[in-house]
Amino acid sequence: MHRSDQAALPAPPDLLTGVPDAVCRLDADWRFTWVNTALAMLLQRPPERLVGRPVRDCFPDVLGSALQRHVHAVLADGRPRAFEYLYEPHDRWFEVRASADAHGGVVVFLRDVDSRHRAQAAQARELRQTAAVLDALPSPTVLLDEDGRIRTANRVWSGNADLVRRSGWEPAQVGDDYLARVAQGLARDDAVRIADGLHQLRTEPSGGPPRTFAHDYAHDLAGQTTWWRLQAARVEDTGQLVVIHTDITERALVEQRLAWQATHDDLTGLPNRVRLLELIGEALADEDTRTALLFLDLDGFKTVNDSLGHAVGDELLRQVGARLTTQIRPGDAVGRLGGDQFVVLARSCDTPEAASLAFRLQRSFGRPFTAGGLSVPVSASVGVAVAQPGLRHAHQLLSDADAAGYAAKAAGRDRVHLFSPGLRDAARWRMDVATRLRDGALDQFVVHYQPVVRLDTGAIEGVEALLRWQHPERGLLAPDAFLSVAEETGQLIPITRWLLRETTRQAAEWATKGLSLRMAVNISARHFSAETLVRDVRTALRESGLAPEQLMLELTETTVAEDPTRAEDQLAVLQGFGVRVAIDDFGTGWSSLAQLMALPIGTLKIDRSLITAAERLATSGTGAVLGAIVELAHSLGIRSVAEGVETAEHLRMVREAGCDLAQGYLLARPMASGDVTRWADRVRAGGGDSCALALAGELR
């Protein structure tokens, strides 16, 4: 230790000589009275050049600095000071402590804290940068330190503090234990999963692929349930975690609504087929009880729908579902399969109880329903199936109840029928059909053709292609025997694709022989939803060489109603390169005139049921209904075809109504391709008027 020769001043302690901190004493005039070795080395001056000399002479750069201000303050009021000071000649930071002594001087300690200061400054800059990044995120976000405490949070997180307080919770702020705060109002399972997930993130070995943790949870805020997705990621080599909280309430509500819609009927709110099968499976899993299923099919609902309108029909279905719900026992369930079919699941129910319940439900239909301001009488055919011991398959019990319901319907209206094993034959037939179609039955299909003739001249204009299945055991089958199964099993589109190729090939072959006939082919709604119709038609026309104008696609009103937008788009493309479009079986389904007008329709095929109804009305003198339909079609630029013309009276009536074309057994039955040319030759030989020849009995 070096000091001045002023004997009056106390000598500095010897222990200051070896301390690493720089120490000196300044008198009231700011002269060095003693310095230790560390200070001399710091100032790079020999001690003898410092002791006794004023600071301003040795180091003028401290004049006016923070160091001078703080030391003067100590000399002035005698209170110690501690502060950090940048010594600019060395560009280093020091921690300075200054204390007054009893002799009017001040003792100054200087500790080199440059490394710590710069590290803290860098850390502060990094934290500010991190905070800026977090503030840019739209979701509440926090940065957790190694101990799981909140190191920083973005503005959105802080902005939610008032909402958290209104919910009765303590807001999580910087320095708080994150898990302790977040667990407020959280389900225990969610809190445990979040804690485990963050722990695994923090403790997983470094160097591997980056891992994240995500968890969705519900949280009560201000009296409302909100849904959040927590996503956390580790900041490598720091042990810190970034945790983002994304509000997914809207998406969660949509998902809940979609989940409900996936298991419930939109119209009635009752469980749908999917949910019913789940409920049936749960009931069958209880081996100690019997489960019964009641299959209800409304009688005559189609007539109600057609005559009173779709809105009245929908209201009627809602009321049926509500009435059934009031009639069942506690613990039972009502569901809607679709259309006019309902199912009642009866738990702990043996056969006599199930039959009694079925008759009670049937009697409940004795009271008419009120829909659209009208009193609508409705009855139901009920099939009953009770699960036998060991039956655990929901589909089987539903199939049995369906078979019993079909038997009740076939026996007449307003009946109850109990399932018997013999009813499974129909189901086995459908399974056989599905298997054969899947294994490739296309080579067993044949096409019959029914001529379509002009009513003004009797000339043959075209044919309608009618698919048949030459079944190896059951003989020639009509489409009703297998097309519904083909649709259910996804085979309908391949079959239609084959039919397009076969019929266009046949029409092209006839054309080469001088018989130019327009080919009409039926198309299902499934082809629209698959969106392959345009491609399949183009392929068939290209391979056959048939002119597009010679192909007409027929679709029913129901087909249009299932997906009108897709139907309109695809049919417009087909019409663009010449293919014709017809509405088949007009009058058998519900139609929207605006919907039909939006489609590129050139032909309206009037179903035979309307022909029969028109004949009945004409007999009673109630007016020309058929003529009104034809006139409406003509006003839209649409030609009309009368189907099911089977008698001379039918022919006279459709002619008087102004129909353009006709087909039916009076004119020609469906026939094989070879018979078409022979039939056309007979018409040609008879003068070319097929209508006149049919009335004369010369075409039979």
Query: In this predicted structure, what is the pLDDT of residue 400?
Result: 92
Which of 486, 510, 509, 489 is closest to 498 using CA atoms? 486
Dist. CA 427–CA 441, nearest whole Å: 19
Which of 68, 76, 139, 80 is closest to 107 using CA atoms? 80
- Lookup: tokens for 35: 């310095």
Q: Report percent pLDDT > 70 for the chain.
A: 90
Whether the pLDDT of residue 622 is over 50: the answer is: no
Exposure string (b/e) for 406-436, b if CB count within 10 Å is 16 or more?
Answer: bbbbeeeebbbbbbeeebeeeeeebeebbeb
The pTM assigned to this predicted structure is 0.49
Query: In this predicted structure, what is the pLDDT of residue 361?
Result: 93
- Top-confidence residue, 429 or 84: 84
Whether the pLDDT of residue 489 is over 80: the answer is: no
Whether the pLDDT of residue 138 is over 50: the answer is: yes
Angle formed by the axes of helices 310-327 and 351-364, nearest 10°: 140
Q: How far is CA 169 from CA 92, 161, 190, in A?
A: 47, 9, 17
Write the pLDDT tens digit of every residue in 404-421: 998 888 777 789 999 988
7: left (phi over 0), alpha (psi -120 to 50) or beta: alpha
Whether the pLDDT of residue 305 is over 80: the answer is: no
Whether the pLDDT of residue 491 is over 80: the answer is: yes
Query: In this predicted structure, what is the pLDDT of residue 61?
Result: 77
Q: Residue 192's CB: how many other CB atoms inside 10 A? A: 12
Query: In this predicted structure, what is the pLDDT of residue 137?
Result: 65
CB 320 within 8 A of CB 328: no
Per-residue H/E/C for 506-574: HHHHHHHCCCCCEEEEECCHHHHHHCCHHHHHHHHHHHHCCCHHHEEEEEEHHHHHHCHHHHHHHHHHH
Highest mean pLDDT among 90-94, 159-163, 172-176, 332-336: 332-336
Dist. CA 406–CA 388, nearest whole Å: 20
Rounded to an integer, the average pLDDT of 191-214 is 84
Which of 230, 208, 207, 235 is closest to 219 using CA atoms? 230
Which of 528, 579, 581, 585 is closest to 556 using CA atoms? 585
Write the pLDDT tens digit of every residue in 20-79: 888 989 998 889 898 888 888 877 788 888 898 898 887 787 888 888 888 888 888 889
Amino acid at 235: V
Whether the pLDDT of residue 7 is over 50: the answer is: no
CB 405 within 8 A of CB 382: yes
Mean pLDDT is lowest, of 3-7, 204-208, 687-691, for 3-7
Whether the pLDDT of residue 563 is over 80: the answer is: no
pLDDT band at 152 (very low <50, low <70, confident <90, very high): confident
Highest mean pLDDT among 369-373, 486-490, 560-564: 369-373
